[in-house]
Amino acid sequence: MEAILVSACLRGVPCRFDGRHKGSSEVEAAVTGREVVSFCPEVAGGLVTPRRPAELVGGDGYDVLDGTARVVDDTGRDVTAEFVHGARRALAAARSAGCTEALLMPRSPSCGRGVVHDGSFTGELMPGDGVTAALLERNGIAVRPAPGV
């Protein structure tokens, strides 16, 4: 059975920054017949639930990995190290399970694919990927945003 890494919040685990989840029947349908590896990189990186919302500042996840951007919460606290650590742990989990694909939470500073929040904490979006999405893609794991979220 083919394995897929899935954001834990999409599987009903209340690990989002607000202590909620985003589980849905559309997500479950998208992973039917697959071995699912549920993973929350933010929690794995050492952040608590609930936690302050965080956004990418100065670029996207690729820029964070390259050291030219950072992740900060809405109080200005730099949480870049936690996001990078969680991304590395997500990559290790995906590799261990043989995942070639990941289904991740849209718009997230960790998991967003194609579009993320712009760092202004106003709900505005910008093109780009989250830290975990960027690391997975750089390592040959195809990332797609979850349907219907």
pLDDT in tens, 87-130: 999 999 999 999 999 999 999 999 999 999 999 999 999 999 99
Q: Is residue 80 part of a domain?
A: yes
Q: Is residue 121 part of a domain?
A: no
Q: Is residue 119 part of a domain?
A: no
CB 22 within 8 A of CB 56: no
Which pLDDT score is estimated for 148? 86
Which residue bears the tokens 């997975």? Answer: 136
Domain count, the chain: 1
Structure tokens that stand for 16 in this block: 């989002």
Which pLDDT score is estimated for 69? 98
Closest CA relative to residue 9, chosen from 31, 41, 34: 41
Q: Is residue 116 part of a domain?
A: no
Whole-model pTM above 0.85?
yes
Question: What pLDDT band is residue 149 in, cutting at 50, 70 and 90?
Answer: confident
The sign of the torsion formed by the CA atoms of 66, 121, 40, 126 equals negative
Bond into 53 cis (ω within 30): no
Range of the domain at 63: 3-109+133-145
What pLDDT, in 10s, does the model give residues 8-63? Answer: 999 999 999 999 999 999 999 999 999 999 999 999 999 999 999 999 999 999 99
Q: Is residue 60 part of a domain?
A: yes
Q: Is residue 69 part of a domain?
A: yes
What pLDDT, in 10s, does the model give residues 79-89? Answer: 999 999 999 99
Radius of gyration of the chain (CA): 14
Q: Is residue 127 part of a domain?
A: no
Q: Is residue 124 part of a domain?
A: no
**Count of H helices and E strands in the chain?**
5, 8
